[in-house]
Structures are given as structure tokens and as C-alpha cells.
Amino acid sequence: MRLCLLQLKNLGENGKNISHAVEMIGKAAAGGADMIVLPEMFCCPYKASKFPVYAQEEGSSNWKKLSEAAKKNNVYLVAGSMPELEIDRSCCEHVEKIYNTSYVFDRKGKQIAKHRKVHLFDVDIKGGQRFKESDSLSSGNQITTFETEFGKIGLMICFDIRFPEMARLMQLDGAKMIIVPAAFNMTSGPKWWDLMFRTRAVDNQLFMAGCSPARDETASYIAWGHTIVTDPWGTVLGELETEEGMLTVDIDFEEVEKVRQQVPLTTSRRTDLYTLKSNLFGQ
């Protein structure tokens, strides 16, 4: 599978960002990509107060344009993440929630998965980053995997990667790769970006792919960049710097089985002593 991760500039306005993403999807597809990945919150400023302003319901304009781009270019599209508006019209009161949501479309533009960020980024690091997503976002409640012609793939968003149980549940469900639209910042990026992706890859013996926005030093939230792909051995197969760009890597899922046969972590687990279970898989 040819995987292409797009490290995109944020152009400030939703319409410009969506149009730019669609243009870059076309370029990646022309280069032979089978699956294309966009960054976290690529369509809007990464600012808690802005998420409600840019939020759209599933099936709205942004969703339709990205679905059409997947179909037109005959690619799988992991559409980064966007603020999703959910309106509950079934009760007496009009209830609205905002989620950090990633949609996945198949080659025909059909939505085959949807992941709402489970772990919200609420941190206050002394001398570093302070951010509270829960000021405007609600958390998701599902572990998300999806099937492709190449194999099963897991999907999480940014801060989700910090929780090893989530990646392990995806591996136990059959995932051969985990894709992570993410926007680590200038505090968390230098400390943990490469470490997190290599660690999850080694622990679970699968491919990891992290897609970041390009760095913008003028933004209130500055993304680290460094879009990355690691193999099941923990080797970095490719990594960008900070500018806008494409990272294209050919993925061979047979490598997953080779690694698991040579270093049999799965069969060596002591399930008589410990287990990890979840019934929260879904789309």
C-alpha cells in the first residue's frame, strides 16, 4: 500500500483549507497513493474557542467535499480531523456537542469509519504549553478500526496515542497499522513525538503513521510538524521537517507477520495473569 501523509499549512479560513486539501489530495493520488492522510484540525485554527465556530454536522459541506475527493481520486482518505457538531433534537431541549472527529472514506467516497477523539488534551505544563480542549469539546467513546483491501487499520487522534491500552486493543482487534492525525506542540513535540510513535510500533509490532500540520510560528498554537511513519521494528521509515510537504511511504503488511513470528510477543503474553478487554469498537 502506498501511503501519503499531507503536512498542510493552515490558511486561516475553512473554505481555503478545504480547497487546499482537495488540491493536495489530487497531487498525492497522481503520485500513486492508495491512502491519503490529513492533519488534525486542518480546516481551522487550533484554538479551543474556535472549534464551535468552525464545527459542521456529519454530511455537511466539508464532509461532502472530502468524500468527493476520495471518490474522484480513487483513494482511501483519512480526513485528518475536524470539529464535528452533533445536535440532539430528540429531547425537550436543543442540545449541541462538539467533537474532534476524523472521518475515513473508501475509494468510492463512502464513509467507512469515524473516530471521535477519546482523550481530550487538557494540560498545563509549567513553563510550557497550557491548553484545555474540554472547554469546548466532548470526548468520544469508541475504539476505532476499519477494514481495507490491504488489511485492518486503527485510528486515533493526537493525545489518544499517550494511552497504550488504546493501541493494544487495536492490535488485538487485528490492526496492522495505526494512523494518528496529530498536532503535538513545541513542548510535547521535541520531548515525545518520535518516542511515542516508535514505542507504540514496537509494543504492538505494527506500523504507526502520524500526520501533523505544518509549523506556523505566528499561530497561537504552534504545531511541531515532523509527520512520521515507523515500521513494526520501531524504525523511522520517513519523517518530514516543519514546512508543508508530502510524506510517501510504501507499506508492506507482510512485515508485521514477519516481526511477530521472529519476536513472538503476542503468543508470549501471560493472559492467565492479565487481560485487556473492550466492547467499545465501532464506526
Q: Does the annotation count 40 as an active-site position?
A: yes
Catalytic pick among 40, 43, 114, 176: 40
Neighbours of 273 (CB within 10 A): 6
Neighbours of 18 (CB within 10 A): 20
Distances (CA, A) of 145 to 103, 186, 272: 12, 29, 26
Q: Residue 240: which of 254, 253, 229 has the closest Cα?
A: 229
Catalytic pick among 4, 117, 176, 211: 117
Catalytic pick among 84, 158, 176, 211: 158
By the 8 A CB rule, do 64 and 72 touch? no
Q: Does the annotation count 258 as an active-site position?
A: no
The residues that bridge with 155 in the sheet, in sequence order, are 144, 179
Q: Does the annotation count 255 as an active-site position?
A: no
- Phi, psi values for residue 34, rounded to 5°: -90, -35
Active-site residue set: 40, 117, 158
